[in-house]
Amino acid sequence: MALNERLAQLGYLPVQISTSASTITLSNINNPPQANFSWRFGNVPSQLSNQWVPNSYTVMTEGAVLAFENQNGLTIDGTAGPTVWEKLLSSSAVADPQPYSYVLVSKSTPEQLQIWQNGSWVYSSLANTGVPAAPTQNGTFAVYLRYRSQTMRGYNPNGTYYVDPGIPYVNYFNGGDAIHGFNRASYGFPQSVGCVELPPSHAQVVWGLINYGTLVTVQGTYTGGYPSSNPTPAKSNPGSTGKGNTSGHSTGNTTGGNSTGNSTGNSTGNSTGGSTGNTTGNSTGNTTGNSTGNSTGGSTGNTTGNTTGNSTGNSTGGTGNTTGNGTGNVTGNSTGNTAGN
């Protein structure tokens, strides 16, 4: 309770506490003052509200801790240890300067990604999730690692090796699964090996709308068809490592990140991996792990289409010239960093 109260006071949760509640201090941390929570915004998606439990450390609390660590220059690991508590209770604790964002990925036909921010749905784009041999796991997760660009290497489910340089706007949310940009002939159906792929210009917009700690819900089941020329992945676009019963290793130059200290990931299945090379940007320390094989799959196809990305309201973020069958619309009052650089 005390952790959720303090995070709410600093604006890292989509809930707020009554103004009469006392501040959390070392003297009352084990028996915090009772507080009444209420939602800060209207139109809260049920998938998000279901994650809120005032007296528990849920994925929503984890996301808030990740966001707090990022904004306050701490090691980004989602753990509320002594260092985090010391900063939380200090007068120098930085309140969240970002709007509260939430990502919903739907596997329904066509597959799409939507972003909710401060009470409104502000962006949508067609997306690709994992193929049946390497599906994107359903559930709610928090973004824990980010790279503006990354070279990805690993194995496809059919055993072929891939090397994908310059994968843009990478946001890891579940092991080796990430939201990122990837050029495809079309979008809206499973093509990756676990990641959520977007047209690169749309991924740039999404990069500016989300951050460390943003919750990502993946739901549904794809029931549509597949282009006959694109039945299996041929070349993948994974996270820093992969996913599944394969081995993956990501090397090369990574940029961006805002990660501090040692970032370590989880390896599941019969996977090994690691991320080595030159890390530049806002990233310090050693970044390793999060490698569980191969998170996206490459799929070739002869499908073509037109991608459009329209921005309206108080949003910024380039959609530029894109190709593919993807759509991306920005509506409402999107504030904060809506342009990915």
235-282 tens-digit pLDDT: 333 333 333 333 233 333 444 544 333 333 333 333 333 333 333 333
- Band of residue 77 on the pLDDT scale cut at 50, 70, 90: very high
Q: What is the mean pLDDT of residues 29-35?
A: 70
Tell me which residue has tokens 């240890």: 81
Q: Are the CB atoms for 208 and 317 separated by under 8 Å?
A: yes
Q: What percent of the chain has pLDDT over 70?
A: 62
Is the pTM higher than 0.75? The answer reads no
pLDDT at residue 30, as a whole number: 66
pLDDT above 60: residue 311: no
Question: Distance between CA atoms of 327 and 50, rounded to whole angstroms?
Answer: 29
pLDDT at residue 181, as a whole number: 98
167 token code pair: 């994968």
317 token code pair: 């973020």
Question: Distance between CA atoms of 127 and 113, rounded to whole angstroms?
Answer: 6
Question: Distance between CA atoms of 103 and 210, rounded to whole angstroms?
Answer: 8
pLDDT above 60: residue 29: yes
Tell me which residue has tokens 């006071």: 9
CA distances to 92, 96, 129, 145, 224 from 109, in Å: 47, 36, 11, 29, 6
Burial of 285 (0-12, 13-18, 19+ CB in 10 A): middle
Tell me which residue has tokens 């029931």: 223
263, amino acid identity: S
Q: Are the CB atoms for 193 and 295 separated by under 8 Å?
A: yes
pLDDT at residue 174, as a whole number: 97
49, amino acid identity: S
Domain with CATH 2.40.440.10 in the chain: 101-330
Question: Distance between CA atoms of 272 and 291, rounded to whole angstroms?
Answer: 6
CA 132 remoteness from chain centre: 21
Question: Distance between CA atoms of 327 and 126, rounded to whole angstroms?
Answer: 6
In sequence order, what are the beta bridge partners of 192? 130
Q: What is the mean pLDDT of residues 304-319?
A: 36
DSSP state of 55: T
| Domain covering 101-330 in this structure, CATH number | 2.40.440.10
Question: Distance between CA atoms of 163 and 20, rounded to whole angstroms?
Answer: 56
pLDDT at residue 2, as a whole number: 87
Question: Distance between CA atoms of 276 and 45, rounded to whole angstroms?
Answer: 39
CB contact set of 23 (below 8 Å; sequence gap of 6+): 9
76 token code pair: 């980004």
Q: Are the CB atoms for 260 and 285 separated by under 8 Å?
A: yes
Mean pLDDT, rounded, of the chain: 75
Q: Which of 116, 320, 102, 283 shows the shortest CA–CA distance to 205?
A: 320
